Amino acid sequence: MKTRRTQTIERTRLVPHTVDGETELVLDRETIEVPAPPRDWDQLVRTAVTIGAIVLVTASLVWTTASIGDLLAAVTVTVVAYAAAIAFDASWIMCMAVEWLLRYDPARAKAAQRAGRWALAVSMGAVFAHGYIYSEWVIGVVGALVSGLAKGGWSMAMRVHARPLDDRTQQWVAKRRAAVDGQLAMIPIRRELQRGQALVEAEQRSIVADSGSVGSTDPGQSGSSVAGPDRTVTPIDRKTLTTKDAVRIAWEDGIRDRTDVIREVSRQLGRPASPDTVDRYLRDHQRTA
């Protein structure tokens, strides 16, 4: 009779333990033998296919670099020639990486597939040209097929790992991805707007400061306030400032237009003000005016 494989595991549980009449829950550890799960041959084969594809891609990259590098070295510096030769296979390898990342978005992955095929064709053509120039066209053909086999091996590996989605699920994924991508896109946009708003406010403060310094040279104008409220007073504490107080300050500064009031209140509060709340307090001042 065949003995079934087992594996040793440790189980822990809380059990009551009493010392001197005091009971506490402590961990009780127990080592037991349980049947081992059957070997997952599918996963082993999938892993072997992936490793094989990586080996093929690595061999192709080395061969193509050596072949095209030797071809280019005839007209340029050897180091530069071999560095440039890496780009031939690296191009379609990069396209395959992009195709892998976009495996759940077939529409966007098609561009990477087309670019990868063109890059592979260019790479194979360059390898064949190397053999043809040295009158070894058979070696050139065989060497060019190395890249083709590597590309085919990696394509098969991607098919093994692929998880095709039905049409409705694909649409659901596309909509959710679009929503998340929109939120991610708004992060740098908000930062850009905040930087722009900070520059605008700094420019406005600079203009007000320049206007105040020019007006102060005339003693007769010291009591007037052409440029708006006096900016020499103690700055308002935004943490304790309420919307009602901000509307009152704007009203006292002579601001009457609703849009200007909302903008001024938002500036004083340091955050966007609620238009409805501003309208309510603004109507109170209009009635008492």
How far is residue 90's CA from residue 120's CA, in Å, rounded to a whole number? Answer: 10
Q: How confident is the model at residue 224 (pLDDT cuts 50, 70, 90)?
A: very low
Quote the pLDDT of residue 260: 86
pTM, entire model: 0.55
Distance CA 78, CA 59 (A): 21
Residue with token string 């509060």: 269
CB-based contact 131:137 (threshold 8 Å): yes
Cβ–Cβ under 8 Å, residues 268 and 248: no
Amino acid in position 169: T
Does residue 289 have a pLDDT over 80? no
